[in-house]
Amino acid sequence: MGSWWAMKYRFLLRPGWLAAIAALVALTAALLSAQELTARATVVPLAQLLKDGSPANGALGHAVTVSGVLDGTRQLLVPDRALPDGRDGYLVIAPLKAADGTAVVVSRGWTAQPVTPPPVPAGPVTITGWLAAAEPADSASAKAEDDAAKDPAHRIATVDVATLVNTWPYPLDQSYVNALSINPADDAAVKLTPVPAPTPPNKSSWYILNLGYTLQWWVFGIVGLWWFATYVRRLANPAAEDAEEEAAEEEAAEELSPPAQAPAATP
């Protein structure tokens, strides 16, 4: 039996077929990667990605939007923060107050020097950015701790929510938002550089926003595999396929033919 299958499907080992199969696998991987990027780039309300105040599984790095009023009197600098191009500097963070009295930690952007943070926009704003996890105090580098110690009233070594809760008079979630844009426009923030979102990890994120995309690709994949298997089977068994088609045509013809009339009885 094994040798029969090997003889029937050995054409799949030809270079052309191997290249086609490899191309199919590569295309599938590329499509899944694109799906992941598309899902993460879809802007959703911040609350949709939080579960009990903490980011849901796979939500870090996702594009979010959140509205409120920035409290410019409580801005802090977070030292030892590098941009992707290697430049070292500071994050400028501030609380974004919501109508219910809670607040979200927002990083307005990056600055190279420990200057006085620029004024915040007056009135309500809508911030679009990406979600980051709160940082424990012991994750700070020695450089950040030394820098923050020089001006503890205006600097903090990490985006540590446990410390900020005792510094700012607002309940806070275990996360913060890196702002990419502020509407109405934050004219003063032109002096700050937005921090780009990190590259997604090489693994799939399973949470509700990705589920729809994932199901779509599973359906496409199943249909593609069915088509490929059918095509290969037809190549390996052309005679059987012809026989099946002929039998189907004969059956259809019989169904369309009128039934034979019985001979009339003689009196």
Q: Quote the pLDDT of residue 206.
A: 47
Q: Quote the pLDDT of residue 87.
A: 94
The DSSP letter of residue 58 is T
Residue ranges of E strands in the chain: 44-45, 50-51, 54-55, 63-70, 76-82, 88-97, 103-111, 125-133, 172-183
User: Which residues, given as ranges, of the chain have pLDDT below 70?
Assistant: 1-41, 186-190, 200-229, 231-267
C-alpha to C-alpha distance for 217 and 234, rounded to whole angstroms: 26
Dihedral pair phi/psi, residue 52, rounded to 5°: 55, 40
The residue written with tokens 């009295």 in the block is: 101
Q: Quote the pLDDT of residue 112.
A: 92
Each residue's pLDDT tens digit, 9-55: 565 566 665 666 666 665 555 455 545 545 556 888 998 888 877 88
Q: Quote the pLDDT of residue 141.
A: 92
User: Taking the model in full, what pTM does it have?
Assistant: 0.63
